[in-house]
Structure 1
């Protein structure tokens, strides 16, 4: 981002969207962002979820960790998980399994009730909110 200079534009999907918001909130030179499904509004997981996920990643097989993530964090149905296990994308999910802890860590870091100062909220050119429904209050990041 620094190499792109002041006012870079970001497009990010899923966890990348959370990273983009955190980067802009911490002062990196972002002019505009387009975010697709950043999971800030994900359903809460159980208190022991991270420990179970880390244990599954350490012990293997990765498929168990991926299934836990999709079942308890993303809330996919068993039918949807079974579908993905038969799909060619499943191997990519397994390869990325060690990164699942970062998804949760970023989500834990986001707390709508915190007193973090707002660094991003509205498009400086139009005044439009960065977010569409559901609205996330960036002032509280």
Structure 2
């Protein structure tokens, strides 16, 4: 992987594929750049795709203390490494919330595509989110990384029997290793509510994507985004849940990112 250096000196590792306008892929919680490997390959026929490891994951470094602003700096660093000019951003789940922060901060973002950021849209959901965030932070602080991963997985709807199987798989140690970054995604999501203070600063074209079979709260979050961002385009991936098939995502992103300004 190539390397960029963020403003605080942290090394950010990334893969660069293809040729064309720069497009940065921003992953969600509990994963590294590999979650978007197939998506990046499909998009590389049309764009220079930058698929990076967020700090604390994969081959990227990490420099405490954490702040959302440092992750914005990381995106700025990989945009600069990709050529320094304006870039498109695609964010998935909490990565979509992070791209909203980055675009609102004034990074040179041409177009922004958002896949199902997990917002809390009522008081009960907000309370549940804050309780989960506090629980995860406590487990991580106590060094109970495996318990943090298990708690996160169960709370996002992974069936208990599947989580039990994952704990015995070769992938589990890697999930434990990046468990501290669950607290980072918690900070990105903040109080869980839609970040209305950011929306007036989102002036570039936006595409809001959702899966036809995604959980109702994810679909409601997409609708909340559409209401908050007048003029945003909307796409529904047929037959898809929160974990989307890259071959179905690629055409939607190519169509949006290739539109004339």
Contact in 1 for aligned 2:113/2:208 (Cα 8 Å): no
For residues 41-73 of structure 1, give each alpha carbon's deviation from its aligned partner in whole angstroms, at most 9, with x where no partner exists: 69653543333222211223311111111122x
1:59 aligned onto 2:154: no
Map 1:31-110; keep pairs closer than 5 Å: 31-40=110-119, 44=126, 45=128, 47-72=130-155, 74-108=156-190
Measured in 1, the distance between the counterparts of 2:163 and 2:197 equals: 38
RMSD of equivalent CA atoms: 3.0
**Cα distance, 1:115 vs. partner?**
4.8
| Match among 67, 71, 86 for residue 7 of structure 1 | 86
Superposed displacement of residue 121, structure 1: 6.0
Pick from 188, 209, 217 the counterpart of residue 132 of structure 1: 209
Matched-pair contact (CA < 8 Å) for 2:140–2:180: yes
Q: Higher RCO, 1 or 2 (CA under 8 Å, sep at least 6)?
A: 1
Q: Greater strand share, 1 or 2?
A: 2
Shift in CA distance, 49/85, structure 1 to aligned 2, threshold 3 Å: same
- Structure 1 CA distance, aligned partners of 2:112 and 2:197? 23
The number of equivalent residue pairs is 134
Deviations 1:111-131 (A, max 9, x none): 3374544232662xxxxx410
CA change 1:40–1:111 in 2 (3 A) is: closer
Q: 1:26 aligns with which of 97, 105, 113?
A: 105
Q: TM-score, normalised by structure 2?
A: 0.43
Asked whether the equivalents of residues 121 and 139 of structure 1 are also in contact (C-alpha less than 8 Å), the reply is no
Secondary structure at the counterpart of residue 87 of structure 1:
coil
TM-score normalised over the length of structure 1:
0.72
1:117/1:62 CA distance change after superposition, 3 Å: closer
Superposed CA deviations along residues 66-117 of structure 1, whole A, max 9, x for unmatched, are 1111122x13221221132233221221111001012222222553374544
In structure 2, the gaps of 5 or more residues are 1-75, 211-218, 231-261
After superposing the two structures, state which structure 1 stretch, 20-29 or 53-62, moved more.
53-62
Distance 1:92 1:67, change over 3 A: same
